[in-house]
Chain A
Amino acid sequence: MEPPRTTLVRLLLLGSVVAPCTGAAQRPDDGQWVMPGRDYASTRYSGLTQLTSANVARLKPVWNFSTGVLRGHEGQPLVVKNTMYVVTPYPNVLYAFDLTQPDYPLKWKYRPMVDPNALGMACCDAINRGAFYADGRIVYNLLDGHTVAVDAGTGRELWNVKVADLSEGETTPMAPMVVRNRVLVGPSGGEFGIHGWLKALDLATGNLAWMARNVGPDRDILARPRTFKPFYDRGTDLGLSTWSGDTWKIGGAPVWGWLSYDAELDLVYYGVGNPGPYNPEQRLGDNKWTNSVLARRPGDGSLIWAYQFTPHDNWDYDSNAEMILVDLVIKGRVRKVLVHFDKNGFAYTIDRSNGEVLVAEPYAHVNWARRVDLISGRPVIDSAKFTGSTRGNVKYICPSLEGGKSPVSPAAFSPRTGWFYVSTVNLCMDFNAEQRARIRGTPFIGASTPYVAGPGGHMGGFMAWDAVSGRKVWEIKEKYPVWSGVVVTAGDVAFYGTLDGWLKAVNARTGTLLWKFKVGSGIVSAPITYRGPDGRQYVAIYSGIGGDWALLSGDVRSDDPTDVRDPADFIRDLGRYTSGGGMVWVFAL
């Protein structure tokens, strides 16, 4: 449908000449960590230089604190004005630690009421992905569909509003993003037949400013004829016409990952999750805009462009992973791009002004598609890997629905090397879909999907990726899936954690392991680094295994004597090395 110029771009992608990224990451580092991705570009890059590949081997734990919660500790702390803010998994306690005092005593803790029914509506552990600091407020989501704003100084609740409907299967573990006076939030529930959306709340009051559906007619997804210009698609009501019958009304499209923002283009970017149910024969068509990236105006929510990574998803390849905004030299020309590591195993380099795919190459073992056709923007699918209730048990699909990389584990970008640092999962799956009816307030899934280790037998890894050439630079193989986020620093050190509880520091240029420390429980969170009031550089991370890995690894949560389980066959021994336990760890030289 598009002129063949995209092919030309593809052919002319030479070398990795990388310009420093623009936007927030280019500003001098103030040593704080005020939002999940560190900056609006979601680079998770810190300009702090005290820790280097030469001295990080001397890193030592200097403080830790038990959160009193055993569930999966995803997300990351914030550090603002010498205070560290920590949000726990359900019951979503907010701790404020005074970093200016010895032992970092609490200034206050905030304990909201959270409906315990949320425990039954959260698909895969009762996790939380963190808070956002803006204008003297800590803003975050409670699992039960409420968003709260808390005074960052006093811990006083400023507002607490209901944004999502638990009875429809909507929960809210994602971290909000604040742009100017808008708080952007979205629901989980791709496994409950929700009708996904993004909402903007007023930062001062919590009042609803606008709501945009991710699927449905143009008026509901805020696609206006003058302003909505997808690069590959033409026509109106695509969020309606690409679904059979009324299936879009219960078609999922959750927002459980991360958001990014480009101030110059005034565009917010976020990934949309899977269509429901998993059985694709119950929802014929492309199912737009599930498994897509959407670009919206934060002011009024207008949809500017959209691109679908996996049309008519047959494999639960949610696209909720972060969109990292950088400027790269492609074909001798600086392009404003977003880089996205999709669950479907392809890494995409996309022009973030218009949604044109510039590079799409597999970063993991992929067998459901041969490649992504850059002319049409569509994957070239191996028809033997289509799933559905009439196809029985379809064997050995790679990647598994955990993704070649999980959206849970946001990658980082270093402008010094020009590379992305990415935790990966090497699993494949069988997919046995069956017909399901949606019953409000119950799961709407309809597939069993057992996993096996992918080629090589290792289940995870950590890699450096060149998004200009679409090539892996180096890779470390890990025994278990790697589900931690990443931070990379101006000292050329990258940090990540493993499910068996090691926090690791590697040389960002070579991938050489420089340091590791066992934190006591598996890591599914994202490390941060900050400058303390004493001028020293610190690294902080949560331990506390959770999410699918706590559910699959058998009895790693031992707090309920009425619930004892066997581990899944493919990961029988992880429970030898970890059990649940949420702690905040701080390290320094």
Chain B
Amino acid sequence: MKLLPLVGLMLAAGCRAKQPDDATIADSAAAPLSVPYDQHILAGGTAPRGVSESNPFAGDEKSAAEGKRLFSSMNCDGCHGGGEGWVAPSLSDGRWRYGGSDAALFQSVYYGRPKGMPAFGGLLSAPIIWKLVTYVRSLPPPKAVPTQGW
């Protein structure tokens, strides 16, 4: 838990004036998202109710760069490689096991996933997670998928 002040400092240093107020975003994380998984088959063709939030840093290059540093300092790269996958899936192939929208990625980081993805929601504030999401979304999918030739 002694990490929290550290990430708080990193965040404060990286914030731009035009970005949303951090306290507001952190408060919104107090009522965590319930994101419908957009790839689910809908029984009866009817979508369940759920909320989705938009990424306050979507497309922001500076946030993506901060997210890249966080991706290392939070040890994400130990399992996901440099984003290209290791024991955990590739995050740069344009394919998503648990949904690839910003909100779905937020949910994966915040709550974790059952095949070994730790839940970071107790450690990281919402703005931090959104920056990680922004970084992951900035990774360019490779050109050669789905065919690999020799």
Contacts and interface: CB of A to CB of B under 8 A. Distances in A.
B87 A444 contact: no
Interface residues of A, number: 35
Judged by DSSP, the binding face of A is loop
A443 B95 contact: no
Nearest to A166: B116
Interface stretch (A195-203, A253-261, A560-568): A560-568
A564 B78 CA distance: 18
Interface in A108-126: 116-126
B114 A117 contact: yes
Contacts of A564: 90, 93, 95, 145-146
Residue of A120, A126, A444, A575 with most partner-chain B CB within 10 A: A120
Contacts of B96: 562
A403 interface: no
A281 B35 CA distance: 43
A437 B97 contact: no
A562 to B, nearest CB: 4
Nearest to B80: A443
Contacts of A130: none
B117 interface: yes
B97 A560 contact: yes
A327 interface: no
Interface string B132-150: 0000000000101110101
A442 B75 contact: yes
Given A554-B148, A561-B95, A564-B95, A120 B75 contact: no
Interface string B72-112: 11111111001011111110010111000000000000000
Contacts of A458: none
B84 A565 contact: yes
A442 B74 contact: yes
Interface in B113-130: 114-118, 123
B75 A436 contact: yes
A448 B78 CA distance: 10
B3 interface: yes
B88 A575 contact: no
Interface string A548-570: 00010011000011111110000
A441 B112 CA distance: 12
B116 A116 contact: yes
Contacts of B115: 116-117, 119-120
Given A119-B115, A120-B115, A563 B79 contact: no
Nearest to A120: B116
Interface in A420-441: 434, 436-437, 439, 441
Interface string B26-65: 0000000000000000000000000000000000000000
Given A118-B116, A573-B150, A444 B90 contact: no
A342 interface: no
B75 A563 contact: no
Given A120-B118, A444-B75, A565 B123 contact: no
Nearest to B75: A442
B72 A434 contact: yes
A555 B115 CA distance: 19
B10 to A, nearest CB: 12
Nearest to A119: B116
Contacts of A322: none
Nearest to B99: A562
Contacts of A434: 72
Nearest to B117: A120
B78 A562 contact: no
A439 to B, nearest CB: 6
A442 B93 contact: no
Nearest to B96: A562
Contacts of A191: 78
Interface of A: 116-126, 191, 434, 436-437, 439, 441-445, 448, 551, 554-555, 560-566, 573, 575-576
Given A116-B116, A437-B6, A442-B74, 16 more contacts: A117-B116, A118-B116, A119-B115, A120-B115, A191-B78, A437-B3, A439-B75, A442-B76, A443-B75, A444-B75, A554-B148, A560-B89, A563-B90, A565-B85, A566-B84, A566-B142
Closest 10 CB pairs of A and B: A120-B116, A443-B78, A442-B75, A563-B89, A119-B116, A562-B97, A562-B95, A564-B93, A119-B115, A443-B75
23 contacts: A117-B116, A120-B88, A120-B115, A122-B87, A125-B87, A436-B73, A436-B75, A437-B73, A439-B3, A442-B118, A443-B75, A443-B77, A444-B75, A448-B82, A551-B85, A561-B95, A563-B90, A564-B145, A564-B146, A565-B85, A565-B93, A566-B84, A575-B148
